[in-house]
Structure 1
Amino acid sequence: MKLTSYFHNFFQSSQSSGILLLGCVVISLLLANSSAGESFANLLQLQLGPYSTAVWINDGLMAIFFLLVGLEIKREIIEGELSSFKNASLPIFAAIGGMVVPAGIFALFNAGTEYANGWGIPMATDIAFSLAIVAMLGSRVPASIKIFLAALAIVDDLGAILVIAIFYTEQIHWMYLIYTALIILLLIALNRLQVTRHIYYIIPGLFLWHFMHHSGIHATIAGVILAFTIPTNASDTEISPLEKLEHSLHTPVNFFIMPIFALANTNILFKSGMVDGLFSTLGYGIILGLVAGKVIGITLFSGIAIRTKLSSLPADSNWTQMVGTGFLAGIGFTMSIFIALLSYKGDVDIQDEAKFAILVASFLSGLTGYLILRKSGQKQLPN
Structure 2
Amino acid sequence: MTGGGWIRRWFPERQIYLRAHGEIRGYAVSVRKQMMLAGAALALGAWTVTATAGMAVNAFNTHAEDARATRERAAAERVNADLQARLDSAVMRMSTSTGSLDDIARTVERRHVALTRVMGQFRGVPGAQTALIPARPAEEGMTPGQRIMAVRLDQERLIARAESFAQNRAERLRLAFRLAGLNPAAYVAPGVALGGPLVEARDPRALAAILDVDEAFALRIRHASDSLNEMRRLADVASSTPIARPTGARTTSGYGVRFDPFNGRPALHQGQDFAAALNTPILATAPGVVSFTGVRSGYGNTIEIDHGRGFKTRYAHLNAIAVRPGQAIAVGQRIGAMGTTGRSTGVHLHYEVWVDGRPQNPARFLKAGESLVQ
Alignment TM-score, normalising by the size of structure 2: 0.27
More strand by share: 2
Kindly indicate whether structure 1 or structure 2 has the higher relative contact order, using CA contacts under 8 Å at least 6 residues apart: 1
Larger helix percent: 1
